[in-house]
């Protein structure tokens, strides 16, 4: 620490009156350098200062020339005076210079100082006062002019420019001293060892700035929301389903769910079919490998001719269609598999899953060919629709959605079917937050589940609540390779 | 869900009441249809100097084919509100006593085997009714009829043709007629060419185009009535002046052919002089035992159990209360004389979606009001929560990776064939990847067999960020598997990649070490500590990696089995070029399932 800070401190110490004005005390030091010295001193509370910004007028090179030699018009007048016979107009440029001749002649005429006499110029007043030069002299010494009109005129004539000047009003601070004491920025192990911390002066911390950025990894926001959902399911006694199977047969994805083979959901427009491998095997028991012949026949019959008190869809059910492979369009294919297994020992069960599903959609801001389905299934004896509604209330309350209402809907594998609407206080309206229903007897009884056992199912997408939670309007900013890593890293933790 | 557009003033008139948009929305909500839009306050187009009147766009659930026109919507809502009862739809003989006939030729088995029909006598069309009649056929064609593949309808001015009719299948060149709204006569082949680029009809041509015979309906004078499922003839077209409508319905589905016929005549017999009456058609089709008189408009008799309905809904209603509520949903129900727990129920012909008593139970719940049902909690049985083991394992690895300073990414599971193979300098042996048959874009051709394509694409899209980038993903890939029922299996993988000014090889290696430590796998060297469980790495020459900077990850499991579970290395510059990555990348990928 030397030079300017010391100069400032010394000037403050010896000043007869305070505050000190930097433009007067240190006219030869660049304001920028003064500021950095003041910043450094004020961070130690040795000085306090205010910045003063003001406009100053300065002469241009041409203006400086006029101060030295007189205005162009005065030069012309002088030249005319000096020539006793009058000055030939053609000679003027030679005598006073081209620049002065051009401007000065006109101005001298305008002022009435000279007149024409044939091809000569002669003076028309005995003496003149060079006002331009006088005004410029005022500006040169005071950097200003009392008459704004004059100043504006001189600026227009490019004799004067105005510039911004920064100066500082400086006063002593609470820790003023003439010597700059080195202040410590940090407490170190050495200081603890030496005991220096007791005597050292510490620089005040800037409490207005952010700390050093944490070097960190991050979990994906969708996975954070998924975690919250899983917690809710675990809290409510649900077992996670083995949804690690993307490829399903038409049988498990549709037929078991009593979705007829001509249903629009099975169109090429909506479902991804698999070209290789070509076809699934007929269903078999995962554990024993035994063919599920009875189940297969039940499914066929309930579609084709009706069974279990149902008329069925009454169409020729085709094995080829059932064995076509698809990318699962919902995790309900896995639920069907789980419920079929449950039929061996039909006791109360609660299952859930949160996993990827596939739809052959045209991609836009709210649709991707892949998204995550959150699905829950409750199987028990004597379940009621009121149970489903009541359960949904508790489930969604854990997500912070307290007002629910239910709208009748249609779904081929649930009857009754209900769309779940929640009141979104932020949006100020009811929004659809999920779908639910009781699985149809045609689906459950074909599996061998007893008639008294009823099964509730419900589902929603993981993306939609996540988009609402993080204020994302384009699903492609949430899932897929176009997601911004900055977005992943800076998203707050989720707590429903 | 189909959306039906109806005239707002017309519908409210039919409902006998004006509604605010909110009130009508509420009514729809309770019934289970959805008010999509009320165009009152929108900018409506001006047609022929007249602004289009306000419309309501109503979404109808896919099972309510009886509500695909404003006649059906107003009827069902009026019944629901107790303002109307179910019409007494009935079949009556024609005035001359001569029953209309369609004789089916056996050749139609080859292309479109089933036909049904009906006649609406003394109908009175207005422009609105006519438009609605056409619109309903269109909606049915789109939905229940599956774009006319399953069923299609033709409607004709009966007074321009003369029965009995025949339903035949003939070579296209032998079917010659003037199609609806056209001025030239053409045969079946010419017709296919004529409509090839037609925006509306072009999409139905494929249904019969390549068949050696086309289905056709003739009258007794050999006048072509229609060429199903493409178009009717101009000759028998219906107009506003038509009084008697002959309807023929052809199909490949014998159940739906009757459903469609019933819906169409039930909805529009309201405009017949004698309301809700329909004249029958006798189908003569002995070759497939489908000779019968159609349509059958009598309600279907069935039963439902009182205790089932009460139990499912969580209610305790008396049989009479249930019967009363079911009336709102267009059923006629009364307690059975034989069994106190049974209800005798008549399902109207328009409700072909009612298959089981669960459908009746749902309608009871709707009539009662979903939102009025007592809300209870299923608390009878306790169950035990349990995570899926592979997900629990994944979570451990994911959290350790994030704690180690890596950022989780979630690319898509589907990718292009090149991204999965050629771009990684990998060859497709044909036995590895599951391939899609009908993707809409080349971005989705295969199910990934590696997490790397998605990770590298994520890095590519994030090049603007300060280096290095350290990203990971823990998710499933899929492989073909001939031994599995579905011929494929998922595998849980972990992958990570570093992208920076230097290769980061040792950083990726360090992440592997860290994860192995967290998974209780000790580091060992090949061949050493033979009885110990653990992992080691050995140089590999996979073409995806830069030569000399790649290793396979080996595991020795408890049973002494040694296997490669994955690899890591500096990616080959040709791989980087394909993924448009200007900086070196080191990548790691291994199968997590061995640690289960």
pLDDT, tens digit (0-9, with 9 covering 90-100), for A236-258: 999 999 999 999 999 999 999 99
pTM of the model as a whole: 0.84
Q: Which of B477, B501, B499 is nearest to B489 (CA)?
A: B477
Task: Kindly report, residue by residue over B411-449, the tens digit of the pLDDT.
Answer: 999 999 999 999 999 999 999 999 999 999 999 999 999
Q: CA A202 from chain center: how many Å?
A: 37
- DSSP states of A105-117: HHHHHHHTSEEEE
Mode of pairing for the β-strands spanning B534-539 and B522-523: parallel
ipTM exceeds 0.90, yes or no: yes
What are residue B424's phi and psi, to 5 degrees? -100, 15
CB A354 within 8 A of CB A312: no
Residue A6 pLDDT: 87
- Can you tell me the mean pLDDT for A49-56? 87
Note whether A386 contacts B469, CB cutoff 8 Å.
no
The pair of three-digit structure tokens given for residue B404, joined into one six-digit string:
């180690």
Task: State the distance between the two ends of chain A, measured CA to CA, in whole angstroms.
Answer: 55
Residue A283 exposed, middle or buried by CB count within 10 Å (0-12, 13-18, 19+): buried
Residue A1 pLDDT: 40
Note whether A384 contacts B313, CB cutoff 8 Å.
yes
Note whether B444 contacts A310, CB cutoff 8 Å.
no
Note whether B373 contacts A230, CB cutoff 8 Å.
no
Which among B356, B471, B476 has CB closest to A440? B356
Q: Which residue of B has its CA nearest to A351?
A: B385
Q: Quick check: helix, strand or coil at residue B216?
A: strand
Task: Kindly report, residue by residue over A107-123, the tens digit of the pLDDT.
Answer: 888 888 888 887 888 88
Residue B322's Cβ-side half-sphere holds a number of Cα atoms within 13 Å equal to 31
Decide if pLDDT at A348 tops 80: yes
Q: Quick check: helix, strand or coil at residue A397?
A: helix
List the single best residue of B254, B380, B410 to mutate versus A (max A Cβ within 10 A): B410
Three-state secondary structure readout of B24-78: HHHHHHHHCCEEEEEHHHCCCCEECCEECCCEEEEECCCCCHHHCCHHHHHHHHH
Note whether B63 contacts A410, CB cutoff 8 Å.
yes
Cβ of A90: how many Cβ atoms within 10 Å?
9
Residue B578's Cβ-side half-sphere holds a number of Cα atoms within 13 Å equal to 19
Q: Which residues contact A437 (CB under 8 A, 6 or more apart)?
A: A388, A409, A411, A413, A414, A415, A416, A417, A418, A456, A457, A458
Which among B381, B383, B387 has CB closest to A240? B387
Where is pLDDT greater, at A192 or B534?
A192
Residue A165 pLDDT: 82
Q: CA B577 from chain center: how many Å?
A: 41
How far is residue B190's CA from residue B195's CA, in Å, rounded to a whole number? 9
How far is residue B372's CA from residue B374's CA, in Å, rounded to a whole number? 6
Provide the number of CB pairs (under 8 Å) joining chain A to chain B. 291
List the single best residue of A485, A487, A494 to mutate versus B (max B Cβ within 10 A): A485
CB B476 within 8 A of CB A276: no
The pair of three-digit structure tokens given for residue B158, joined into one six-digit string:
């009966």
Torsion of CA A74, A75, A77, A81, to 10 degrees: 130
- How far apart are the CA of B425 and the nearest CA of chain A, in angstroms? 21
- The residues pairing with B477 across neighbouring beta strands, listed in sequence order, are B491
**Tens-digit pLDDT string for chain B (596 aa):** 899 999 999 999 999 999 999 999 999 999 999 999 999 988 888 888 888 899 999 999 999 999 999 999 999 999 999 999 999 999 999 999 899 999 999 999 999 999 999 999 999 999 999 999 999 999 999 999 999 999 999 999 999 999 899 999 999 999 999 999 999 999 999 999 999 999 999 999 999 999 999 999 999 999 999 999 999 999 999 999 999 999 999 999 999 999 999 999 999 999 999 999 999 999 999 999 999 999 999 999 999 999 999 999 999 999 999 999 999 999 999 999 999 999 999 999 999 999 999 999 999 999 999 999 999 988 777 899 999 999 999 999 999 999 999 999 999 999 999 999 999 999 999 999 999 999 999 999 999 999 999 999 999 999 999 999 999 999 999 999 999 999 999 999 999 999 999 999 999 999 999 999 999 888 776 655 556 778 999 999 999 999 999 999 999 887 878 899 999 999 999 999 999 999 999 999 999 999 99
The pair of three-digit structure tokens given for residue B9, joined into one six-digit string:
């003033």
How far is residue B500's CA from residue B506's CA, in Å, rounded to a whole number? 12
C-beta contacts of B325-330 below 8 A and 24+ residues apart: B325/B364, B325/B367, B325/B368, B326/B360, B326/B363, B326/B364, B326/B367, B327/B79, B327/B82, B327/B85, B328/B79, B328/B80, B328/B81, B328/B82, B328/B367, B329/B79, B329/B80, B329/B363, B329/B364, B329/B366, B329/B367, B330/B76, B330/B79, B330/B86
Residue B267 pLDDT: 95
The pair of three-digit structure tokens given for residue B357, joined into one six-digit string:
């008593």
- How far apart are the CA of A237 and the nearest CA of chain B, in angstroms? 4
What order of strands is seen across the sheet that includes strand A274-276? A274-276, B435-436, B446-447, B414-415
- How far apart are the CA of B447 and the nearest CA of chain A, in angstroms? 9
What are residue B27's phi and psi, to 5 degrees? -60, -45
Residue B297 pLDDT: 96
């Amino acid at each position: 620490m030397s030079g300017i800070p010391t100069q400032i401190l010394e000037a403050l110490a010896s000043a007869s009156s305070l505050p000190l004005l930097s433009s007067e005390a240190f006219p030869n030091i660049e304001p920028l350098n003064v500021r950095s010295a003041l910043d450094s001193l004020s961070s130690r509370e040795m000085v306090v200062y205010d910045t003063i910004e003001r406009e100053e007028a300065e002469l241009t090179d041409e203006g400086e020339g006029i101060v030295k030699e007189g205005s162009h018009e005065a030069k012309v007048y002088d030249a005319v005076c000096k020539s006793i016979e009058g000055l030939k107009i053609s000679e003027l440029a030679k005598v006073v210079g081209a620049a002065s001749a051009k401007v000065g002649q006109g101005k001298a005429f305008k002022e009435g100082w000279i007149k024409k006499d044939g091809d000569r110029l002669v003076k028309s007043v005995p003496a003149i006062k060079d006002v331009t030069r006088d005004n410029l002299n005022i500006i040169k010494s005071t950097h200003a002019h009392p008459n704004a009109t004059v100043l504006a005129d001189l600026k227009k004539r490019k004799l004067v420019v105005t510039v911004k000047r920064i100066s500082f009003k400086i006063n002593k601070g609470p820790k003023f001293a003439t010597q700059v004491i080195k202040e410590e920025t940090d407490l170190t192990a050495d200081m603890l060892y030496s005991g220096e911390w007791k005597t050292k002066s510490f620089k005040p911390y800037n409490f207005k700035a952010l700390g050093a950025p944490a070097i960190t990894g991050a979990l994906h926001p969708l996975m954070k929301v998924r975690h919250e959902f899983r917690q809710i399911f675990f809290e409510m006694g649900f077992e996670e389903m083995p949804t690690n199977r993307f490829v399903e047969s038409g049988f498990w994805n549709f037929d078991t769910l009593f979705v007829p083979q001509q249903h629009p959901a099975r169109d090429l427009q909506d479902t991804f079919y698999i070209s290789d491998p070509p076809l699934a095997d007929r269903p078999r028991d995962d554990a024993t490998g035994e063919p599920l012949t009875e189940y297969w026949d039940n499914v066929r019959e309930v579609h084709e001719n009706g069974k279990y008190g149902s008329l069925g869809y009454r169409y020729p059910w085709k094995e080829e269609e059932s064995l076509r492979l698809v990318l699962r369009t919902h995790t309900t294919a896995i639920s069907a598999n789980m419920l079929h297994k449950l039929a061996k020992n039909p006791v109360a069960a609660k299952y859930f899953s949160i996993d990827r599903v596939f739809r052959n959609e045209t991609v836009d801001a709210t649709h991707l060919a892949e998204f995550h389905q959150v699905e829950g299934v409750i199987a028990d004896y004597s379940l009621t629709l009121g149970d489903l509604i009541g359960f949904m209330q508790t489930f969604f309350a854990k997500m912070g959605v307290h007002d629910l209402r239910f709208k009748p809907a249609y779904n081929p594998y649930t009857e009754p079917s209900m769309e779940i609407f929640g009141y979104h206080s932020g949006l100020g309206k009811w929004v659809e937050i999920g779908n639910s229903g009781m699985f149809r007897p045609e689906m459950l009884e074909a599996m061998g589940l007893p008639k008294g056992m009823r099964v509730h199912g419900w589902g929603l997408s993981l993306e939609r609540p996540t988009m609402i939670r993080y204020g994302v309007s384009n699903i492609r900013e949430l899932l897929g390779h176009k997601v911004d890593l900055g977005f992943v890293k800076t998203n707050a933790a989720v707590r429903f | 869900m189909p959306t039906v557009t109806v005239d707002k003033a017309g519908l409210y008139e039919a409902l006998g009441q004006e509604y605010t948009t909110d009130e009508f929305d509420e009514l729809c909500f309770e019934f289970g249809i959805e008010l999509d839009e009320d165009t009152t306050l929108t900018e409506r187009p001006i047609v022929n100097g007249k602004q289009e009147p306000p419309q309501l766009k109503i979404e109808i659930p896919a099972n309510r084919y009886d509500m695909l026109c404003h006649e059906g919507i107003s009827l069902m809502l009026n019944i629901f509100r107790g303002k109307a009862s179910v019409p007494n739809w009935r079949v009556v003989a024609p005035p001359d006593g001569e029953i209309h006939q369609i004789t089916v030729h056996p050749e139609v088995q080859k292309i479109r085997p089933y036909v049904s029909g009906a006649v609406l006598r003394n109908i009175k069309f207005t422009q609105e009714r006519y438009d609605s009649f056409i619109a309903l056929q269109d909606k049915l064609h789109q939905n229940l009829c599956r774009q006319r593949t399953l069923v299609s309808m033709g409607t004709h001015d009966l007074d321009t043709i003369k029965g009995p009719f025949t339903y035949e299948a003939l070579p296209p060149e032998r079917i010659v007629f003037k199609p609806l709204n056209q001025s030239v006569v053409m045969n079946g082949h010419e017709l296919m060419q004529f409509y090839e680029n037609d925006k509306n009809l072009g999409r139905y041509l494929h249904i019969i185009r390549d068949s050696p015979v086309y289905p056709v309906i003739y009258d007794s004078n050999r006048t072509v009535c229609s060429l199903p499922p493409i178009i009717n003839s101009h000759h028998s077209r219906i107009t506003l002046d038509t009084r008697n409508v002959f309807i023929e319905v052809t199909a490949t589905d014998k159940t739906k052919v009757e459903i469609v016929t019933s819906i169409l005549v039930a909805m529009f017999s309201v405009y017949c002089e004698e309301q809700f009456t329909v004249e029958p058609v006798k189908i003569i089709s002995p070759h497939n035992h489908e000779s019968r008189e159609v349509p059958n408009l009598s309600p279907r008799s069935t039963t439902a159990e009182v205790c089932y309905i009460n139990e499912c809904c969580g209610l305790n209603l008396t049989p009479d209360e249930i019967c009363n509520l079911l009336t709102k949903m267009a059923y006629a129900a009364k307690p059975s004389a034989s069994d106190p727990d049974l209800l005798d129920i008549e399902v109207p012909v328009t409700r072909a979606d009612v298959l089981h008593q669960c459908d009746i139970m749902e309608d009871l719940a709707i009539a009662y009001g979903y939102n009025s049902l007592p809300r209870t909690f299923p608390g009878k049985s306790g169950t035990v929560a349990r995570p899926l083991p592979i997900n629990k394992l994944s979570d451990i690895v994911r959290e350790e990776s994030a704690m180690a300073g890596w950022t989780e990414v979630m690319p898509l599971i589907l990718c292009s064939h090149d991204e999965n193979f050629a771009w990684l300098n990998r060859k497709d042996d044909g036995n590895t990847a599951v391939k899609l048959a009908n993707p809409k874009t080349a971005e989705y051709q295969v199910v990934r067999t590696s997490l790397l394509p998605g990770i590298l694409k994520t890095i590519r899209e994030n090049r603007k960020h300060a280096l290095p980038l350290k990203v990971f993903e823990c998710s499933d890939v899929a492989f073909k598997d001939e031994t599995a029922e579905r011929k494929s299996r998922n595998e849980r993988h972990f992958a990570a990649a570093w992208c920076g000014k230097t290769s980061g090889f040792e950083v990726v290696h360090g992440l592997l070490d860290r994860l192995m430590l967290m998974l209780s796998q000790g580091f060992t060297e090949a061949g050493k500590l033979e009885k110990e469980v653990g992992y080691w790495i050995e140089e590999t020459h996979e073409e995806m990696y830069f030569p000399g900077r790649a290793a396979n990850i080996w595991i020795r499991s408890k049973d002494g089995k040694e296997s490669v579970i994955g690899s890591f290395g500096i990616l080959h510059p040709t791989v980087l070029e394909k993924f448009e990555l200007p900086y070196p990348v080191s990548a790691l990928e291994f199968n997590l399932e061995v640690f289960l």
